[in-house]
Amino acid sequence: MGLSSRAVATAVVAAAVAVAAFFGLLPLTLASAALAVLVAIGWPSLLNQPAPGGSGLVIGLTGVGAVAAVAATEGEPSLRNLPLVLAMGVVLAFVAEMLRRDGRPRLVESLLGTVSGLVVAVSAAGWIATDRTDAGAALVVTCAATLAVASAVSALPVPGWWNTLLTLAASIAAGGALAWALPEVVTANGLWTGAVSGLLVASLHALFDQLPALERRAAALAAIVLPVTVGGILVFVVGRVLVG
């Protein structure tokens, strides 16, 4: 799958998350769990891991568990149970390697691939944490919408660094426009959300643009949902650093 096709698909996924947030916490939770599952399906193929079945199972279980844990957490901090889920996922990754019966080739590579994948999948829970900030669903919609705009603009046939700059500028402009349209989101939050989304999309597309594994559908699927999966937790963390 080409870069432009993946970028458009990422924009569609981000828009779907925005729609889910608009309808409430339950649809957003289901959408976040779906992101974790899609990462689990495609991540082992993206990294060409030697034991994709066990790795995908561990990533999926950890990601969905993280989403469920954050959704069930009341009060602040909303991510207080996430380290426990992540630790259990790492233990499961070691267990999965111990259960392999193929001679365990590329053992360290397989283990590191699984752990990195479960970190990505766990990031899907960030959408729920973002929804529970003061701006709530409006900030989730802003983040998802700026990701969609950044992904769509990155698909334009603009070469090199110009594409990155255009993606970043469009995402920041979209964040500012949404902050103006949504009273719950202050202008500064809209602008930094757009900046984070633009940088995330541009950097990930540059990272995966020439990766041969993307010729496989499962690997392309992971690359498509990766910016959206990571976007929620990244905006939540950056927002806490900037605005407290």
Mean pLDDT of 52-70: 94
Q: How confident is the model at residue 202 (pLDDT cuts 50, 70, 90)?
A: confident
For residue 241, the model assigns a pLDDT of 63
pLDDT digits (tens, 9 = 90+) for 18-45: 889 888 889 999 999 999 999 999 999 9
Alpha-carbon torsion, ordered 95, 42, 150, 169, to 10 deg: 50
Which has the closest alpha carbon to 199: 222, 167, 226, 175?
167
Choose among 243, 167, 217, 139: nearest CA to 7.
Answer: 167
Judge residue 23's burial from the number of C-beta atoms within 10 Å of its C-beta, 0-12 exposed, 13-18 middle, 19 or more buried.
Answer: exposed
* pLDDT of 243 above 60: no
How do residues 138-186 score in pLDDT, each as one tens digit?
Answer: 888 888 888 889 888 888 888 778 888 999 999 999 999 988 888 888 8
Give the pLDDT of residue 184.
Answer: 80
Question: Measured between alpha carbons, how far is 236 from 204 in angstroms, rounded to an integer?
Answer: 19
Rounding to the nearest 10 degrees, give the CA dihedral for residues 208, 212, 216, 222. Answer: -20
Q: What is the pTM of this model?
A: 0.88
> Alpha-carbon distance 27 to 3, whole Å?
29
Return the domain boundaries, the chain. Answer: 3-243
Q: What is the pLDDT of residue 67?
A: 94
SS (H, E, C) 180-237: HHCCCCCHHHHHHHHHHHHHHHHHHHHHHCCCHHHHCHHHHHHHHHHHHHHHHHHHHH
The whole-chain average pLDDT of the chain stands at 87
50-66 mean pLDDT:
93
What does the alpha-carbon distance between residue 49 and residue 40 come to, in Å, rounded to a whole number? 12
Report CA torsion sign: 170, 171, 177, 180. negative
